[in-house]
Amino acid sequence: MSFSFEKKTFLTVSLIILGLEFTIFFPSFFLLTLFTLTLFLFFALSSILKIKPKEQSLYPIFVLPLVLLVEASIVLQVIPDFSLKHLFVFGFALLLYLVTSSLGVLKSHIISYSLIIFNIITMSFLLAVFFAYVVLYNFYLVFNLPLWITMIAVFFLTSLFFRFNLWKNDLLEVNSKTYSFVLSLILMETFWALSFWPFLALSSGFIIFLVYYIFLDLFNLLLKRSLDKKSLLGQVVVPSVVLVIFLFSMKW
């Protein structure tokens, strides 16, 4: 990557650190700061990754870093220890730097680091998905949000995540609207079903994440036309067994 890319990325992450530190000392300005940081990161990424407004096929790139920023800002507010807050900010800054750099490499199709970069993006993506569902379910419980609002949020968020997944796997050109709708509907119905069970946000978020992971892998295999017994066993059956074991180990 060019020196200009590294310099812009470092400057962007540094300003994000300052913004998050600001919310630690002035939590009453949390929403305003979060909105400002999200807007800033969007335009900063547009400049760093050289994404023009007309390049709509590249819009999914924004999903991962922006979702991670929102999640980190929310988690930061619930960390009780002051010193841990600062440690968390710098840990997130390192993750954001890695993600932004990896997205730049993936967008440029640099072959030499493709496997490492793809794994970094995949792990960051799965982490973002997991925490997104945990945060959403926690909002539903803590703020007593109407079920239909959170279900719509789950549907919308799942669609965004699936769109990013398509970009990551070079599947944007494939006709996938049906898959996106079905996956979002499944996750929305899963959220609805869990609302009747006495589970905490972490447990419910993990269940929703596992359901997402199972169907995401299945749909990826179908879209790539690479569905076989070996792939089905490793990417669908094993996670399904983990989900069943987790459900049976829960206290009802």
Please state the φ and ψ torsions of residue 226, each to the nearest 5 degrees. -125, 30
State pTM to two decimals: 0.90
> Which residues have CB under 8 Å from 108's CB, separation 6+?
1
Residue listed under structure tokens 């819009």 = 59
Q: What is the pLDDT of residue 239?
A: 86
Q: Note the pLDDT of residue 56.
A: 80
| Exposure string over 224-243, b if 16+ CB within 10 A, otherwise e | eeeeeeebeeebbeebeeeb
> Where does the pLDDT of residue 127 fall: very low under 50, low under 70, confident under 90, or very high at 90 and above?
very high
> φ and ψ at 227, to 5 degrees?
-75, 120
pLDDT value for 2: 66
How confident is the model over 174-194, as a mean pLDDT? 92
pLDDT in tens, 42-98: 999 999 999 988 888 888 999 999 999 999 999 999 898 999 999 999 999 999 999
Question: Domain limits of the chain?
Answer: 1-109, 136-252
- Average pLDDT rounded to a whole number, residues 12-23: 96
Flag whether pLDDT at 1 surpasses 70.
no
